[in-house]
Homo-oligomer: A and B are copies of this chain.
Amino acid sequence: MTRSRQLRLGAFMRPVSLHTGAWRYPGSYPDANFNFAHIKSFAQKLEAAKFDAFFMADHLAVLNMPVEALKRSHTVTSFEPFTLLSALAAVTERIGLAATASTTFDEPYHVARRFASLDHISNGRAAWNIVTTSNPDAALNFGLDEHVEHGERYKRAREFYDVVTGLWDSFADDAFIRHRESGIYLDPEKMHILNHKGEELSVRGPLNIARPVQGWPVIVQAGQSDPGRQLAAETAEVVFCSPRDLDGGKALYADIKGRMQAIGRNPDHLKMLPAAFVVIGDSIEEARTKRLSLDSLVHYDSAIASLSIALGHDASAFDPDAPLPKDIPETNASKTGRAQVIKLAQEENLTVRQLAQRYGGYSGLAFVGTPKSIADEMERWLDEEGSDGFNVVFPYLPQGLDDVTTRLVPELQRRGIFRNEYEGTTLREHLGLPRPKNRFFSD
């Protein structure tokens, strides 16, 4: 039986995994960052499991890290999202394709065009993850000496969104007549010249591509700060977020959907999808062991730095194989972080080394258990309005992905909270989002 509230599932991908030890996991493809064939097989499996979307995170610099961490990191290099997702568009038919594009370091004409083009090539499956790029190293790759200030970034992002969506509306859906006999290809009355001149941007238009199949590609937002949330409430149709637990999820859900109501937007027109790290075993115990074994592949030297940051205290003098010392001083820098570490150490009975490897590997929201126990948790998030679904992070590939598609998804389908078949052909249709009206032309 199908329930009225349905889970939406995205795959939050880095080719090898977000987990820094994953490339060393047995059966993994350490070269997936260079190997299109692997990623193609991931996308095709996700589509066979009826996932809503394949999402490609992106950064505009080699992430800044000490050389000890750098040399162990598979994150240094990977495909650029537009080229990768366009290639995937050609070898898939239904799954949505979400690319990250920065409003701080790109031009609205380019961004509008590329997403429109991806939407045409994929027949309506593109989504734009709007980011303002928090990594300060990116600025140095784009002619600046220092990063653009946070408020300024969000100001440009808001205007950038207006320009991009305005450019997508350059042509009415019925602008192209293509009448062979008369020789009329298009109706110039149905072409709009934007002539945008704002505080941050000046763009004439029109865009040199027809209106996207979806009207506009789906708008995704991943910022967590106050301006980030406000931008989401005003513009986003999907929010990628990273609450630590159900309470955090509920608070964020209520906050963003409340902001939408305050400005007159229908809260159903935005789907909250927290990132969730999913590790599946035959028993909860086995799943935990898998996770510990994955974490153990994170090198201690790079891991300990992450633990120190979380604790707000240098942890490098602690005995790695002993439990966390009891007397770690509180600091202003990290009250919540310290409390979380202590709670985790107790709950899972972890040594300093294991804690460090957890923080150095992946420390966000995780569901670790059997298909049944994880489906229970996901169902609870859905019922209690902690989220509208999840952006699944696979611990290791391909096995972690296969576990989700062949073991968890069938359990969710059995419960009637996840589709057995795609409802339509476009990403908007999968997500139950309306097609935006053209702001310059009525249908």
Binding site for B on A (CB under 8 A): 23-24, 30-31, 33-34, 36, 40, 59-62, 67, 70-74, 76-80, 82-84, 86-91, 105-107, 109-110, 113-114, 116-118, 120-121, 137, 140-145, 171, 176, 178, 180, 183-188, 191, 201-210, 297, 299
Contacts and interface: CB of A to CB of B under 8 A. Distances in A.
Contacts of A137: 204
Contact of A203 (B34, B113, B117, B141): B141
A83 B84 contact: no
A170 to B, nearest CB: 8
A185 B87 contact: no
Contact of A72 (B24, B84, B183): B183
A121 B71 contact: no
Contact of A76 (B40, B70, B208): B208
Contacts of A30: 178, 180, 185
A144 to B, nearest CB: 8
Nearest to A67: B188
Going nearest first, the 3 A-B pairs with the smallest beta carbon separation are: A80-B117, A140-B204, A86-B86
A267 to B, nearest CB: 32
A141 B109 contact: yes
A117 B204 contact: no
A207 B90 CA distance: 26
A111 to B, nearest CB: 10
Give the interface centre of A118, A137, A185, A191 by most chain B CB atoms within 10 Å: A185
Contact of A33 (B62, B87, B202, B210): B210
B24 A70 contact: no
A81 to B, nearest CB: 9
Contacts of A40: 90
A118 to B, nearest CB: 5
Contacts of A185: 23, 30, 71-74, 76
A36 B76 CA distance: 33
A316 to B, nearest CB: 18
Contacts of A121: 36, 79, 83-84, 87
Contacts of A206: 62
Nearest to A187: B71
A274 to B, nearest CB: 26
A207 B70 CA distance: 14
A326 B40 CA distance: 64
A191 B64 CA distance: 13
A202 B143 contact: yes
Given A30-B180, A70-B188, A120-B36, A80 B205 contact: no
A142 B107 contact: yes
A77 B209 contact: yes
B24 A183 contact: yes
18 contacts: A23-B178, A24-B180, A70-B191, A72-B183, A77-B208, A77-B209, A78-B208, A78-B209, A79-B117, A79-B120, A80-B209, A82-B86, A84-B86, A86-B86, A91-B91, A105-B107, A106-B110, A137-B204
A89 B39 CA distance: 14
Contact of A77 (B61, B142, B183, B210): B210
Contacts of A208: 59-62, 76-78
A242 B120 CA distance: 31
A93 to B, nearest CB: 12
A311 B185 CA distance: 28
Nearest to A39: B121
A41 to B, nearest CB: 12
Contacts of A205: 141
Contacts of A67: 188
